[in-house]
Copies of this chain bind each other. A is one copy, B any other.
């Protein structure tokens, strides 16, 4: 019995899919500090123009450069697995498929966009890229990509992760990146924070501020900033996952997918798998599509659709998105990659349109699911990925109750070999769910109540 479906390199998708071309309602633009739409030129000090062009593109299909493919071939096309052992353990009539994105050198889906971003920067004459990283998945993906393309890479890593996760930092350094704890003394933003709070554990918001400042303040003009999720071009680059999955499902004669699932922090691995299927749904297909988030950081299930800042320090443009408010501090769940107050504008738009239906799970249930996964499918999952697994298992059980042979497709976004302490806590019975900090949420939401509201209408067609 076949376990995995492979594609040869010659079968790799040669274009990314841009869902902006197909959305029923046009995307609302990002807004500047004055409340007016920002122009591509205003982003030029931060990103190279070839990436900005992708960010605002309305083209449905965008060519993947040959040199980018040449690096992606190191792990792409990624294998599509049939989760036969899990199906058997659950006794479900559902057929569960998953894309294994953990086979990349950095261990997650993140290099799918890190490689093209580094390549476009290089094409534009950029020599050095700055970024921030929380748990380290994104920083290591960008470090890997810069190493292979001969670019310098500087990563501002949230101090508490820098101290607690030395191995992620060592991965970045092995790939030649410079990694500093944020807040640092290297930027004005960092120095300001340190003067006020010398013992701060740091935050993603502060690290973003530092990375952006380091990019725009380089007088040589040869440094730019890179972001690993949220933005349109990031979602675009990740669609290679879903485009491959379609080819692979066709190879095993699966003509219809019933359920598509991905965990969602900023939204990129979910969008990468799901958007090509959202396109089918727009065209009339009957598919349930679930982005999955932590119950204690319920951006999609509890956050309103609003304009909001991408960072705590209010340095970024205002983005139209589901958000808990940029002052919201998520509880310290193990899935660090899902601890973000907002979600990609493109994902938000598909929620507003009713094309996708957010789900939320608490972490104890997610670890329970991940443990069953490890002991059936064999692979040890990242804590973020475990959220998708919890949803897939619930759907498979539902299919059993209903006696339906559903086809469930899930994104297995990365391995958990660098994040095993959560498993230890779970197995020793010490892992707890965090309740949603309701009072803080209300304060955070109040603080964005005066920000502009996007006008995207809910068509309610789906």
- State the A residues within 8 Å of B (CB): 1-4, 6, 8-9, 70-71, 73-74, 81, 85, 103, 105, 107, 144, 147-148, 166-167, 170-171, 173-176, 371, 374-380, 417-418, 420-421, 423-424, 427
Bound: A167/B421 CA distance, A:
8
Query: When the two chains form the complex, which single residue of B70, B81, B174 contacts A3, counting CB atoms closer than 8 Å?
Result: B70
With both beta carbons as reference points, the residue of chain B lying nearest to A380 in the complex is identified as B174
Q: Closest 3 interchain pairs by CB? A: A3-B73, A170-B420, A105-B378
Q: Is the CB of A171 within 8 A of B103?
A: no
List of B residues within 8 angstroms of A3 by Cβ: 9, 70, 73-74
Bound: A175/B171 CA distance, A:
25
6 A–B contact pairs at CB < 8 A? A1-B70, A4-B9, A74-B379, A105-B380, A147-B378, A170-B424
List of B residues within 8 angstroms of A167 by Cβ: 417, 420
With both beta carbons as reference points, the residue of chain B lying nearest to A9 in the complex is identified as B2
With both beta carbons as reference points, the residue of chain B lying nearest to A107 in the complex is identified as B417
Query: When the two chains form the complex, which single residue of B6, B375, B424 contacts A147, counting CB atoms closer than 8 Å?
Result: B375
Query: When the two chains form the complex, which single residue of B2, B171, B375 contacts A176, counting CB atoms closer than 8 Å?
Result: B375
- Protomer copies: 2
Bound: A423/B172 CA distance, A:
11
Bound: A147/B427 CA distance, A:
15
With both beta carbons as reference points, the residue of chain B lying nearest to A381 in the complex is identified as B174
Bound: A144/B379 CA distance, A:
9
Bound: A105/B107 CA distance, A:
12
Q: Is the CB of A173 within 8 A of B70?
A: no
Bound: A427/B174 CA distance, A:
8
List of B residues within 8 angstroms of A378 by Cβ: 71, 74, 105, 144, 147-148
Bound: A71/B9 CA distance, A:
25
Q: Is the CB of B375 within 8 A of A423?
A: no
Counting chain B CB atoms within 10 Å of each CB, the highest count among A81, A174, A427 belongs to: A174
With A2-B9, A9-B2, A107-B417 already in contact, the answer to whether A376 and B174 are too (CB < 8 A) is: no
Q: Is the CB of A423 within 8 A of B170?
A: yes
Bound: A81/B103 CA distance, A:
14
Q: Is the CB of B148 within 8 A of A85?
A: yes
Shortest A96–chain B CB gap in Å is: 14
Shortest A375–chain B CB gap in Å is: 4
